[in-house]
Amino acid sequence: MKVLVTGAAGFIGHHVCRRLTATAECEVLGVDNLNDYYDVALKRARLARLADRENFRFVQADFADATAFHGIYDLCKPDYVVHLGAQAGVRYSLENPAAYVHSNLTGFTNVLEACRRRPPKHLVYASSSSVYGAGSQPPFAEDADTDRPLSFYGATKKSNELMAHSHAHLHGLAITGLRLFTVYGPWGRPDMAPILFARAICEGRPLQLFNHGKNLRDFTYIDDIVDGTLKVLLYPPADGRMAPGRVFNLGHHRPVETLLFVRMLEELLGRTAQVELVDAQPGDMFETCADLTRVQAAVGYAPKVPLEEGLRRFVAWFREYYGAG
Active site residues: 153
d(CA 303, CA 253): 9
Residue 3 and residue 80 in contact, taking contact as beta carbons nearer than 8 Å: yes
d(CA 34, CA 44): 8
Name the β-bridge partners of 31: 6, 59
DSSP conformation class of 103: I
Question: For 92, what's the count of Cα atoms within 13 Å in the CB-facing half-sphere?
Answer: 12
d(CA 226, CA 302): 12
Nearest 5°: the CA angle 145, 151, 155 is 60
Describe the chain by its helix, strand, coil percentages, rounded to 5: 45, 15, 40
Q: State the first-to-last Cα distance of the chain, in angstroms, to the nearest integer.
A: 43
Residue 299 and residue 232 in contact, taking contact as beta carbons nearer than 8 Å: yes
d(CA 165, CA 142): 14
State the angle between helix axes of 66-76 and 108-117 in degrees (0 to 180), rounded to the nearest 10: 40
